[in-house]
């Protein structure tokens, strides 16, 4: 049973990588290991998304008021020398970012196994600082051996059905039917999603290995 919760690391990332003149900045994913090990040597994963809002594909989508969803999946693997590595378990979480043009601010919803968290940012710089922070995932391997983490993040633009599902989830109506909407408004949004040619991307990164001793 997946019981891992995501917690913000106290130390934020030290600056983002900028592109050289003439190059287009692309979003990136970095997975490291917490320097502070457990008594048995186990170490938690540190996950950082870099340059999301410096990537023109995603900054443009957000500026045009298209919500962006980042869906994360962390997997714990046991390394077995000379054999196929052994998958142990996984945990998932997601983040939804929206621009609210009428209020001139940004709204972020982070959905964890423990529930949803909401944040608001008055400027894109503040939002960028939050997105690029290093996050520590509270998930550890079980048993002894040599382990590593892999993290996959899928970045997509949200459809109207996705937004309705999110709204129902936040209101505690997970099993409720979709909220009624104007058919014209629904058709217009689908048309814009098709015409906008919004990007879809999946990134994967792997941590270094660490050894867990028997207790």
Is residue 28 within 8 A of residue 203, CB to CB? The reply is yes
Q: Residue 105: inside a domain, yes or no?
A: yes
Q: Residue 21: inside a domain, yes or no?
A: yes
Q: Residue 193: inside a domain, yes or no?
A: no
Domain count, the chain: 1
Which strands make up the sheet holding 135-138, listed edge to edge? 5-8, 135-138, 45-50, 28-33
Q: Pick from 87, 108, 94: which is nearest to 6 by CA?
A: 94
Q: Residue 154: inside a domain, yes or no?
A: yes
Digitized pLDDT (tens) for each residue of the chain, 215 residues in all: 333 333 333 223 333 233 344 568 899 999 999 999 999 999 999 999 999 999 998 998 888 878 899 999 999 999 998 789 999 999 999 999 999 888 889 999 999 988 889 999 999 999 999 999 999 999 999 999 999 999 999 998 775 555 666 666 666 654 434 433 344 444 555 455 554 555 688 999 999 999 999 87
What is the value of pTM for the model shown?
Answer: 0.75
Q: Cβ of 14: how many Cβ atoms within 10 Å?
A: 6
Domain boundaries, position 95: 5-158+199-212
Q: Which DSSP string do the residues of 81-92 spell out, in sequence order? A: TTS--EEEEEEE
Q: Residue 163: helix, strand or coil by DSSP?
A: helix
Is residue 165 within 8 A of residue 79, CB to CB? The reply is no
């Amino acid at each position: 049973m997946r019981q891992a919760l995501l917690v913000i690391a106290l130390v934020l990332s030290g600056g983002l990588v900028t592109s050289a003149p003439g190059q287009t900045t692309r979003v990136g994913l970095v997975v490291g290991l917490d320097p502070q090990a457990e008594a048995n040597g186990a170490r938690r994963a540190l996950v950082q998304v870099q340059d999301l809002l410096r990537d023109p594909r995603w900054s443009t989508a957000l500026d045009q008021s298209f919500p962006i969803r980042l869906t994360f999946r962390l997997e714990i693997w046991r390394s077995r020398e000379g054999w196929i590595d052994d998958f142990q378990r996984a945990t998932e979480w997601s983040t939804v970012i929206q621009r609210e043009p009428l209020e001139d601010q940004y709204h972020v919803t982070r959905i964890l196994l423990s529930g949803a968290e909401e944040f608001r940012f008055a400027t894109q710089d503040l939002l960028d600082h939050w997105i690029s922070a290093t996050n520590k995932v509270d998930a550890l391997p079980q048993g002894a051996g040599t382990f590593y983490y892999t993290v996959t993040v899928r970045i997509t633009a949200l459809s109207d059905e996705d937004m309705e599902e999110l709204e129902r989830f936040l209101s505690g109506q997970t099993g409720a039917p979709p909220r009624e909407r104007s058919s014209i408004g629904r058709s217009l949004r689908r048309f814009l999603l098709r015409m906008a040619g919004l990007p879809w991307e999946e990134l994967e990164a792997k941590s270094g290995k660490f050894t867990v001793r028997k207790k």
